[in-house]
Chains A and B, each alone.
Chain A
Amino acid sequence: EVQLVESGGGLAQPGRSLRLSCAGSGFSFDDYAMHWVRQAPGKGLEWVSGISWDSDNIGYADSVKGRFTISRDNAKSSLFLQMNSLRTDDTALYYCAKDRSSEPYDAFDLWGQGTMVTVSS
């Protein structure tokens, strides 16, 4: 089955860190760029970060630049998001999404179900 499964979400205090993971299966993970997209409760979609198939091309939203780091391990078909210096406005459901292309960027044709991150003291 073609799918993406996120994990690693939870409750964190402001200023702390969390590391999200996304496991891909059913497709050639290393052929595609990958992304993280988040959705705050009751709000719209916000692109967080994207990474090319070979990790050579990486982009971030201004709201997370310098605090979040995207990475991937193609041997393990996995995508990661290291989130440091968390803020209350980082509270959201974080989706992993597959790009239609190997290089940034194209539309996102496969999404996971998301992992919830709550930042609160």
Chain B
Amino acid sequence: EIVLTQSPGTLSLSPGERVTFSCRASQTIISSYLAWYQQKPGQAPKLLIYGASSRATGIPDRFSGSGSGTDFTLTISRLEPEDFAVYYCQQYGSSPLTFGGGTKVEIK
């Protein structure tokens, strides 16, 4: 099983700031089959990025993903008020599929 480690657990930031999330895998993720999701309180997760760097339909271009192998990042170029949420990475290259533990972005 591929273990995904997200760091840090919580970030305290202000609107307008740039933020980068880290997701590290215990082994190589084939074909960069890595996705990022956003989850707000009381809501289902929402797909942001798939294939490590492709934005899902309707996702603003302030969200970008990069990485390969075992190290991946999600960047929000400029935090908007609606971006304060929990972010999860997920690998879907091998079964069982696994999620990282999440990074919470809270308002400073």
Give residues in A with beta carbon < 8 Å to B. 35, 37, 44-47, 50, 59-62, 95, 100, 104-109, 111-114
| B35: Cβ under 8 A from any A Cβ | yes
Render B4-21 as a binary contact track against A, CB cut-off 8 A, 1 for contact: 000000000000000000
For the complex, give the distance between the alpha carbons of A106 and B100 in Å: 16
With a 10 A CB-CB cut-off, give which of B47, B50, B51, B57 has the most chain A CB atoms.
B47
Give residues in B with beta carbon < 8 Å to A. 1, 33, 35, 37, 39, 44-47, 50-51, 56-57, 88, 90, 92-93, 95-102
Is the Cβ of B101 less than 8 Å from the Cβ of A44? yes
Closest residue of chain A to B35 (Cβ to Cβ) is A107
Main secondary structure of the interface of B (DSSP, over half): loop
For the complex, give the distance between the alpha carbons of A39 and B43 in Å: 12
